[in-house]
Chain A
């Protein structure tokens, strides 16, 4: 029948009321911090700010692990007093191989390799090939390690950004090896970019016996304090992961800036052992494969703290201290994409979006009244409810709204009245065929419903695809349209129908205004 049950009436009215209530937090201040106050967030294009897409260098992660595994393997062979020849590291196949000193020692060497502790389960496979022993990193395990590394990087990126005082940053994983950073209100991301672009891996290593030439087990690195190349041993004596604190200070002796650090007990012990055994030798402080300085060890350092003086100024000293406190990234991060929107452009975009939305809405409303009279007016009421419901759903999910998102809302409103047009045209046809008003209404609504669902389903599919494959603002556009299609079905199939039915029940017209 054409009469809505009271329950249905209350249901529709209830949903509209809830919609209005959900919209309110966007326009009012939260009365108390404890109240759930869900609002739509403005996108960076409206609010102004910076967007950075960072990529973690997984290759270098693999390279580092291979190097440390080689270190471990050598040490283990040494501990078991097993000899080896021709130890090769191959980054392309992600493997290590060496030849045992003699066939007699082969089984013992293989066993020693199998006993090496893996960082993740099944990290590497040990095998024998052409008389050589081969250790190969496993792809699956490396993927697991990469996932872990991205999660770890996100944490460190967050700490570094928080330390700069940026307000409301958003840091999220994207894909396998990428991190998206959004910084509202930051219109000059240069400092944050350079902070994130530094791996900040601090190591303390001895120089090679002859620091001017590379020998097995050492690598030539740039010494930044004197701008020459020095050979530094690959073996890491103390690692930055053992740091507990760091700070920028003014050096008492030179009057320049320096960075002090404090090691935990394990680090302090290792530091004490190395400095005790190597008094008089040079000890390199290496940051990201560059030697900051390589002072002589004058006396053993047992307290577990020290100072780095490497030609810093106030800014670089405090940045380094910040980086050391936040911890090193597991692998280098590089910026792949950067977008910055200044605050004035953001404000102009909000203005443009709101003006367009209001003008568009007004044009559609006027057109509908002219084209359909009273039923057009009902369609306009439904249209207004549609806008409220869209805002309500976006607020409920605390979604982000961008300029393309606002365009999506407006186009949804343009498309939404299509359902009303279909219904009204159908009713009109039924009237022309000589049906009585009630039957014409009934037939009009019933027949148009199938068409409305079919036509919205295709648009829905197209925009779901856009949401799946799109990125950034385009995704937001697809989101608002997809939400809009759902709210459209509600407002046209339930709300505007309800309005027409109520009007009919009250007015009992002899003919329909179509």
Chain B
């Protein structure tokens, strides 16, 4: 049984003409990315607690939760939550309040959390607090800034690394592809209404790292083939390189996908969103390695890459 692989994604001698569909691929990608940018502004991302500040209290009531009673108790305590909703089982209640305004908003935010906890435990004795988070407005804006910095610096580091290890055309096409990937993922976030928080930034960065990894492998092969087949037209050469690495591209995507899948299914509220976005990112990253990164290289480097290797 172990002597042979049991299956392959594509036959080794199969040559798919990917470059024929390059315009289609670029157009579809551009349209999706533009749509995502529009979605980013309208309706926009649903910011998580980390980035918008405020409080969230999640509690489990002893019996099925009586929302009217809970709302009344909060109202009585002078607390006006932005949402009181069920999540998970009928006993699970989530109460969220946006960061208060005003001069002493930091202190207010922290006070609210205790107010909510005592109000619900009075209304429903025996209630267990599962989670109580309060993030002040100044902290949340710092977290947001740090998240964007992490994304920005990562992209810059990737650009520099590929530039140094490969050539300018490779670096620029990679980063453009990554930005296209990233915008689509953000569009996905806007549609699915998963909360955008620090964990999501981690998901975006992992997608970024993974997607780059995928591109580097294809680029590596292109570079090798540029040296090996000195007279082959770039278009043909790109097709050859993509085909040669196709089984590895799909194989690796598959293993990462399989690793992330249980997180999406059983990861609980913290990780479900994270892992679902990861799964989306893996699909987008894999397809962009095939349909976007190489065609961009053809578009940008048709003359330069071929001429240079001819001369050298």
* A residues in contact (CB < 8 Å) with B: 45, 53, 187-188, 190, 193, 334-342, 344-345, 348-349, 352-353, 355-357, 359-361, 363-364, 367-374, 376-377, 403-404, 407, 410-411, 413-415, 417-418, 421-422, 425, 428-429, 432, 450-451, 454-459, 461-463, 465-466, 468-474, 477-478, 481, 513-514
Q: Is the CB of B216 within 8 A of A455?
A: yes
* B residues in contact (CB < 8 Å) with A: 1-8, 12, 58, 60, 106-107, 110, 113-114, 117, 128-136, 138-139, 143, 146-147, 149-150, 153-154, 157-158, 161-162, 165, 198-199, 201-202, 205-206, 208-210, 212-214, 216-217, 220, 244-245, 247-248, 251-252, 254-263, 265-268, 270-271, 274-275, 278
Q: Is the CB of A418 within 8 A of B252?
A: yes
Q: Which residues of A contact B3 (CB under 8 A)?
A: 373-374, 513
Q: Is the CB of A451 within 8 A of B260?
A: no
A359 to B261, CA, bound (A): 9
Q: Is the CB of B259 within 8 A of A411?
A: yes
Q: Which residues of B contact A337 (CB under 8 A)?
A: 134-136, 139
Q: Can you give 20 A-B contacts (C-beta < 8 A)? A: A339-B131, A342-B129, A348-B268, A356-B271, A360-B260, A364-B258, A367-B254, A371-B8, A414-B256, A414-B259, A421-B252, A455-B214, A461-B158, A462-B158, A465-B153, A466-B201, A469-B150, A473-B198, A474-B198, A513-B2
Known: A335-B110, A415-B210, A466-B205. A45 touches B153 (CB 8 A): no
Q: Is the CB of B129 within 8 A of A417?
A: no
Minimal beta-carbon separation of A253 from chain B (angstroms): 35
Q: Is the CB of B261 within 8 A of A415?
A: no
Q: A190-B114, A421-B255, A474-B201 are in contact. List 7 more A-B contacts (CB 8 A).
A: A335-B106, A337-B136, A356-B263, A371-B251, A425-B248, A466-B154, A466-B201
What is the count of residue pairs linking A and B with beta-carbon distances less than 8 angstroms? 254
Q: Which residues of B contact A454 (CB under 8 A)?
A: 165, 216, 220
Q: Is the CB of A368 within 8 A of B255?
A: yes
**For chain A, what secondary structure do more than half of its interface residues adopt (helix, strand, loop), or is it mixed?**
helix
A109 to B122, CA, bound (A): 64
- The 3 A-B pairs of least Cβ separation, nearest first, read A414-B259, A469-B150, A462-B209
A504 to B5, CA, bound (A): 18
Tell which of A336, A403, A458 touches B213, judged by Cβ atoms closer than 8 Å: A458
Q: Which residues of B contact A368 (CB under 8 A)?
A: 255
Q: Is the CB of B154 within 8 A of A465?
A: yes
Known: A473-B198, A474-B202. A421 touches B251 (CB 8 A): yes
Q: Considering only CB atoms, which chain A residue lies closest to B220 in the complex?
A: A451
Q: Is the CB of A336 within 8 A of B138?
A: yes
Q: Is the CB of B110 within 8 A of A193?
A: yes
Q: Is the CB of B138 within 8 A of A465?
A: no
A463 to B154, CA, bound (A): 8
Q: Considering only CB atoms, which chain A residue lies closest to B216 in the complex?
A: A455
Known: A335-B110, A338-B110, A474-B201. A458 touches B158 (CB 8 A): yes
Q: Which residues of B contact A377 (CB under 8 A)?
A: 2
Q: Considering only CB atoms, which chain A residue lies closest to B274 in the complex?
A: A407
Known: A338-B113, A421-B248, A462-B205. A356 touches B267 (CB 8 A): yes
